[in-house]
Structure 1
Amino acid sequence: MAELDEILARYTHPQTGSLHGAAFVAVDRNGKDIYRGVAGRKYVDLTSTEKLTLDTVTWIASQSKLVTSVSVLIAVEKGLIGLDDDVRKVVPLLENIQVITGFEDGEGEPGPGVGKPILEDPNGPITLRQLVTHTSGFCYDAWNPLLQKYSVWAGRKENMFSGTIEGQLHPLIFQPGTSWSYGPGLDWAGKVIESLTGITFDEFQQQNIWGPLGAKSTTFFPAKRGLTQKDIMELGRRSENSPPQDLVPGTSPWPFDCRDSLGGAGLFSTANDYCRLLAALVSGGGPILSAASLDELCRPQVGVASDADMRRFVTSDSNAHSKGWLWTTDPENHWQDYMEVRQCLCGLVNSEDVVDAEGKHRRRRKGTVNWDGLPNLLWFVDRESGVAATFFTQIMPMDDVAARKVCTELEEALYRIVNEETKV
């Protein structure tokens, strides 16, 4: 374990490191620790003496999506809804949702006097499966010029970072089931569960996931637990082309005290809590999910065209990170796509093993599922190897070079341990 300790210590060294704090936890299919470590500070300030711990509450952003996907399958197991049921019949806010195809004035800048948006009705249902796999037509408004123009035209006051469901309410950008776009579908999946159960999505997760797992620090509402902003791991921000050590305190884009339980990005958790969920998944699903539902969670879900749109997103210059792609430490710091991935219900799933030049297993095996979180968090579950892990930090902007390098080093060192123990 000394190699993993050294990696964390090196990247969080107060004078020469590039992260103020980081945690890494890995467990096996028997629920036993392979590694559990943390290094660095809770705050960016070099003079701070408060150390980061495995129980420090942290905004986990899109690592919330895995928890929401698990929640959806729990609701399906309970017989509350089917994956292919039309959610517009469940959530009144979605009854009149439409698809935007353009504006009457073409591509002009939004503003007073511009033409109206061109809208059409969906050609078919909007299903729970589509919401979870990003094929419903929803797209994050901050990342789509057409939705940005629509927001100005409609006078929208809320957006994807408002902490409200209204921030996720806007037209679809394509007909449901015909393409792929990263967006707030999982926020709406949480609203579906709220409508079906009559309780908040936070309460549903406490009753069906965190409670059974004995995880006590994970919630959408840390303020209601008596926490303050100072209790949360501080976000560090790095300027473009700045030295690795040039880190300054940053402001989180997510409101600490938000109004709604938003399943796409709203959870606050700890490394210890989150790995309780990963341990349940890598061990077969118990006590929260059946083996059949776990198989459904991890299998490829969408068609060839939608998968192609997904791969264009995750391999773009701004998103070519650990969502299935390996950081190579060549002189020009290029990303190298080293494996085929598909969209599953909880993120991406490998279509092949990740092997080294000699054909030996180095990292994730075929069938591994993974995703990450905006401030450079990461999780994966490799059921074939019987290993699951999560990396916690708080660094912006997304796809920070140092964070991706440390994730790669940690994972490679972890698999040297796993492969040695299993003689793979």
Structure 2
Amino acid sequence: MSELDEILARYTHPETGSIHGASFVAVDAQGNDLYRGAFGRTKVDPANPESKPLSLNTVTWIASQSKLTTSVAVMQAVEQGLVGLDDDVRKIVPALRDIQVLTGFDDDKNQPILEDLTGPLTLRQLISHTSGFAYDARHPLLIKYSKWAGRTAHMFDGSIAGQTHPLVFQPGTSWIYGPGLDWAGHVVEKLTGDTFDAFQQKNIWEPLGATKTTFFPTKRGITAGDLHELALRTPGKGTKQGLTAGASPWPMDCQDSLGGAGLYSTASDYIRLLKALVGGGSPILSAASLDEMFRPQVSAASDADMRTFINSTGPKNSKAWLWTDDDTKHWNDYMKVRSCLCGLVNSEDVVGKNDARRRSKGTVNWDGLPNLLWFVDRESGVAATFFTQIMPMDDAEARKLCTELEEALYRLVEKRA
């Protein structure tokens, strides 16, 4: 077995491993496979009669790995002359025309304190998390506002209504994780008159030859039994791996194509997208659009707010994929990252254990809620994605597995060189 095979087999072993199923795929800038592997099973309980060996074609909810595809779609719309990155999208989407900023709450009057926008709301802001849109279930003011307004729609209900609420700061003045990418996809819908799913199929997945990626899996005949099942990490309970089967927070039957978290895909499909990006963009993007998408975008103050936000969600947040053996430090203690139009971009090289080579300066990466991860290292000519389905986010075992895989991958790259 190769070193990468051995790592995946060890972590997914039904008796001694810690993960029920995981896939890892990597390619180089010339389009050659560096590694393809899927280990474990599709269901948490190995005795489940529906459980099958996990494959690179197993359909998986990819959550926020959807955001990369939305950024690509936005850049395509810009290339097609439909819109500019700095156009005010309130002129395109009626639902955003009267949007306001929630600055506080008057408890005496039980009223939200709202103010009008002082500038435009742009596509660039929507896809770089600087628009002021925050996830409603994670922001104290929005939780309070939703209760006051009697909102029943929410961030996980699969509708654009679930992402319809006030901003939490004036666009362009800070950084916060939220549904900006959902609205960016909605902008593309309004510009084209088609669903965002149809736009992506025509402009991304069909040119790449990807056949199983969609916002609407049931319309493709995909059932819950076909999916990689979500596992909950519950030490001492469930399987010998400490996992119990859990219900996915995302519905299979969604109302809208939500570009922030709604895609179902496979490792085989997703690596086709990364192969195009690490190879220069063709056939889906121009080199100029790719450069724009991957370069740092926001102000130093907004980048500082981004690092504060990510650090606040956990000492080793998966969005950087930069963990070390020192559990006492945040990833931000080791290196700086900046926000671009599709994730985070490294400001310096990453060095692993014993000075092992890892990602180069300029690498862009992001993740998906059930511990999926991707990165594109154009300097080294390497792109990779890791698929699994484990909650909660930033699972320690998944982090360790990804770190081992990354270091082994770069050893393979050096060997081939």
Which category of TM-score, normalised to the shorter sequence, fits these structures?
over 0.9
The answer for the alignment partner of 1:205 in structure 2 is 200
The answer for the alignment partner of 2:24 in structure 1 is 24
Q: Can you list the C-alpha shifts for 1:6-33, whole angstroms capped at 9, x where unaligned?
A: 1100110001111100000000001110
The answer for the alignment partner of 2:302 in structure 1 is 306
Q: Report the Cα offset of residue 46 of structure 1.
A: 2.3
Aligned pairs (5 A) from 1:36-75: 36-48=36-48, 49-75=51-77
Contact 2:235 2:242 (C-alpha < 8 Å) held by counterparts: no
Q: Report the Cα offset of residue 328 of structure 1.
A: 2.6
Structure 2 unaligned regions, length at least 5: none
SS in 1 for 2:26: strand
Contact 1:313 1:319 (C-alpha < 8 Å) held by counterparts: no
Q: Can you list the C-alpha shifts for 1:176-195, whole angstroms capped at 9, x where unaligned?
A: 10000100000000000000
Aligned pairs (5 A) from 1:404-419: 404-419=399-414
SS in 2 for 1:151: helix
Structure 1 unaligned regions, length at least 5: 107-113
1:315 aligns with 2:311: yes
Q: Report the Cα offset of residue 321 of structure 1.
A: 2.2
Q: Report the Cα offset of residue 333 of structure 1.
A: 7.1
Write the letter of the residue equivalent to 1:350: N
Write the letter of the residue equivalent to 1:279: K
The count of residues paired between Structure 1 and Structure 2 equals: 413
Contact 2:373 2:387 (C-alpha < 8 Å) held by counterparts: yes
Q: Report the Cα offset of residue 357 of structure 1.
A: 7.6
The answer for the alignment partner of 2:242 in structure 1 is 246
Write the letter of the residue equivalent to 2:314: S
Write the letter of the residue equivalent to 2:258: L
The answer for the alignment partner of 2:186 in structure 1 is 191
CA distance in 2, matches of 1:98, 1:320: 34
The answer for the alignment partner of 1:235 in structure 2 is 230
Aligned pairs (5 A) from 1:171-186: 171-186=166-181
Q: Report the Cα offset of residue 246 of structure 1.
A: 1.1
Identity value in percent: 69
SS in 2 for 1:366: coil
CA distance in 1, matches of 2:363, 2:255: 34
Q: Report the Cα offset of residue 41 of structure 1.
A: 0.3
CA distance in 2, matches of 1:381, 1:397: 25
Write the letter of the residue equivalent to 1:60: I
Q: Report the Cα offset of residue 329 of structure 1.
A: 3.3
Q: Which has the larger displacement, 87-96 or 309-318?
A: 309-318
Contact 2:102 2:113 (C-alpha < 8 Å) held by counterparts: yes
Of 327, 330, 335 in structure 1, the residue corresponding to residue 323 of structure 2 is 327
Contact 2:373 2:386 (C-alpha < 8 Å) held by counterparts: yes
The answer for the alignment partner of 2:126 in structure 1 is 131
- 1:325–1:35 Cα change, 3 Å: closer
Q: Report the Cα offset of residue 253 of structure 1.
A: 0.5
TM-score where L is the length of structure 2: 0.96
SS in 2 for 1:103: strand
The answer for the alignment partner of 1:366 in structure 2 is 361
Write the letter of the residue equivalent to 1:203: A
Contact 2:350 2:358 (C-alpha < 8 Å) held by counterparts: yes
What CA RMSD, in Å, does the superposition of the two structures yield over aligned residues?
1.7
CA distance in 1, matches of 2:166, 2:236: 37
The answer for the alignment partner of 1:353 in structure 2 is 349
1:264 aligns with 2:266: no
